[in-house]
Structure 1
């Protein structure tokens, strides 16, 4: 039985400054693991950057650590880096209903209300937060940022779609949920439910004013990482090409909306590149000057 408030149940040392933290979450109704990388020098409190995974988010590893080069990149940075675990096809949001296949998803409550104060208190966070997500996690990061504008100062979003209530945006979200056997109506209701618009980042883009924002996407055309030396190149081209072309359209749409509102953003829309991790690993160091400035460590 879980307590009425979130608590840290267990901490496991995975390596040098690399920890797995088990949190008893009332919102999710279970104990949820996250992983955290601490900086080498910890004399003073520091900001926290949360890294959200893509649609296949596994319960035991985050692809930013496995495929995105994040452990190496952040080894010398003065920031607590938190890697979410689990939540496949969840969009890191609060679903209206529990799903027979995907269970209880109340990730927004967990990530915005339960987790930050626990980690700040235990690991010397200073209350300044940022988010970076890829694919499903890119849309999740942007949704969290527009719905909790006082909590986040820097957002990075790579290869996501952001107009959740548009025909295309809702279709892609429903497809992602469906690939894992979930019922998308359990997330935001039937297609005409106002919750779809409530979570539409393009509609609510004004809430992003004052934050540092980094957006990236490829064109879907095979690029430098899709050659014969990549064993996953065929899949990246056949499946990741069309996916990235759609994400590029979505990224342009959000970038245009931010431009109309006069909200600055750094946008990297590459001429080539598929929906695959080698490109997102490249984007991590490219996005860091933008994110670190927002976090106050640039």
Structure 2
């Protein structure tokens, strides 16, 4: 499957962009210091390159690229764990910051934004700081109720504390950033982006949810959580407790959708129907190995199609709830496309309009 990664260098598919502006968002008002309170914060410094980091694709690709700062930040809540950060700096002071979260496998499985998207080329001239935490595979970037003991999920998992309380203050101070920020993610972390904004209302000017599911306490969706965290060696009960319990419901972005009010929103999903970039002919024309093409396309069309169809249903449910509450968003519902990188690459660029409006049009 690693060799199949090159399939994901495809162009984006056709999309329908629906813009709703029922209620204009207000600028974020909370500072990092207000959100952190008495929580000990990170120490941010230059990346200390371990053997594990040196072997990851993103570092091999950008280790010597001056457009990307290689930093690390400690997490007191995770026993001082050092989290690698790939940062695309704004290049000048008093600029906003976008926190861009990886999906399930993340940098640990060479399936991250820096490796598999055009993020550096796209944001290099946008005069905005882009921060990509290069750890957290299968964690949902949340605070776990219990410590798991798996291959990727091992020990304290306090990612919400890290991303919202420990990291922003010292990192944004180092970057000389202003108090405008966005948070975005795809697949697993699309859910996380919604939740972190809901739990810290007034902290994020904008939120991007690329092909995620907000309904994490519903029966079927809770089992989808299991499929993801199992890959890292954990269980959803360790993460958010029993389905339907208080902590699970607190981490259901659909139930708490009202708390997205005040942030500009970009929300996307594809239909699950195969697009051009999901079919064999597209890759065979590029001279790829037919055996690799056959295996990869089967996974994209079957597994990726089923997942994205479920995501599409979940996302339409979220839209209905936000519409009922009078909360506007930019929706991107693609008529074709599976749960794969071509759509997320499109979202990376399409959501910039939403973020720009949040940062500069207020």
> Does the pair score TM above 0.5?
yes
Provide the residue aligned with 1:204 in structure 2: 256
Does the CA contact (< 8 Å) of 2:143 and 2:157 recur in 1? Answer: yes
- Ranges in structure 2 where 5+ consecutive residues have no aligned partner: 1-39, 49-62, 284-292
CA shift, 1:61, in A, is 5.7
C-alpha deviations, 1:17-50, integer Å up to 9, x for none? 31111112101221111110013x41x3110001
> Are the counterparts in 1 of residues 184 and 208 from structure 2 also a CA contact under 8 Å?
yes
Instruction: Give, in whole Å, the separation in 1 of the partners of 2:312 and 2:225.
Output: 15
- Distance verdict in 2 for CA 1:157–1:281, change over 3 Å: same
Matched, 1:257 2:307: no
Separation in 1 of the partners of 2:119 and 2:144?
29
Structure 2 CA distance for aligned equivalents of residues 155 and 60 of structure 1: 25
Q: Counterpart in 1 of 2:342?
A: 278
Aligned residue for 2:69? Answer: 19
Secondary structure, in 3 states, of the residue corresponding to 1:125? Answer: coil
Residues 52 and 84 in structure 1, CA contact (< 8 A), matched pair in contact too: yes
Comparing 5-14 with 273-282, greater Cα deviation is found at: 5-14
* Residue correspondences, number: 294
Deviations 1:83-121 (A, max 9, x none): 111111111000011101112210000000111111111
Question: Aligned runs of 1:45-194 on 2, under 5 Å?
Answer: 45-59=94-108, 63-101=112-150, 102-103=153-154, 104-194=156-246
Deviations 1:45-87 (A, max 9, x none): 1100011111111248662122121111101101000011111
CA distance in 1, matches of 2:126, 2:228: 33
Provide the C-alpha distance between the structure 1 equivalents of 2:136 and 2:332, rounded to a whole number of angstroms. 27
Greater percentage in strand: 1
Give the stretch that moved more between structures: 223-232 or 286-295.
223-232
In structure 2, the residue matched to 1:220 is 272
Residue aligned with 2:179, SS: strand
In structure 1, distance between residues paired with 2:127 and 2:265:
20
CA positional deviation for 1:291? 1.5
* Contact residue 202 and residue 263 of structure 2 kept, 8 A: no
For the pair shown, the structure with the greater C-alpha radius of gyration is 2
Q: Secondary structure at the match of 2:124?
A: helix
Give the 3 Å change call, closer, same or farther, for CA 155–257 of structure 1 in structure 2.
same
Change (3 A) 1:224 1:291: farther
- How far the C-alpha of 1:296 sits from its partner, in A, is 2.3
Deviations 1:114-143 (A, max 9, x none): 111111110111021101100001001001
What TM-score does the superposition give when structure 1 sets the normalisation length? Answer: 0.93
Shift, 1:249, TM fit = 0.7
- Aligned residue in 1 for 2:351: 287
Report 1 or 2 for greater relative contact order, CA contacts < 8 Å, sequence distance ≥ 6.
2
Partners of 1:134 and 1:124 lie apart in 2 by 27
**CA distance 1:87–1:11, shift in 2 (3 Å):** closer
Q: For 1:191 and 1:118, how far apart are their aligned partners in 2?
A: 36
* Kept in 2: contact 1:225–1:279 (CA 8 A): no
Q: CA deviation at 1:169?
A: 2.2
